[in-house]
């Protein structure tokens, strides 16, 4: 049975493996499209973790953690030499 939703409008998690190449080719890879994707991701994160009634430090602490962990992994070679 064919899907009712067009491939272009599906989310990545709903795309089947055979539809993946055509789904990727339909994405907008212009600078405006990439900026829009980052903006949507930011607002999804903000509304899920930061802009809540009973907020905690979890949403805000994810941003520094996303910076600290890769930085530590990159400096791991220098730490092993010391």
For 17-70, write each residue's pLDDT tens digit: 988 888 888 888 999 999 999 999 999 988 888 787 776 777 778 888 888 888
Q: Could you give the C-alpha distances from 57 to 10, 67, 77, in angstroms and in order?
A: 33, 16, 31
Instruction: Report residue 74 CA to chain centroid gap.
Output: 21
Among 1-5, 11-15, 27-31, name the one with the lowest average pLDDT. 1-5
The predicted structure's pLDDT at residue 39: 95
49 vs 28: CA distance, rounded Å? 27
Taking the C-alpha atoms of residue 40 and residue 60, their distance in angstroms, rounded to an integer, is 17
């Amino acid at each position: 049975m064919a899907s009712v939703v067009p491939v272009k409008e599906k989310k990545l998690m709903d795309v089947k493996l055979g539809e993946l190449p055509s789904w990727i080719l339909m994405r907008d890879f212009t600078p405006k499209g990439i900026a829009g994707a980052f903006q949507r991701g930011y607002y999804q994160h903000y509304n899920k973790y930061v802009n809540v009634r009973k907020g905690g430090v979890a949403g805000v602490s994810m941003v520094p953690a996303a910076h600290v962990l890769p930085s530590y992994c990159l400096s791991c070679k220098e730490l092993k030499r010391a």
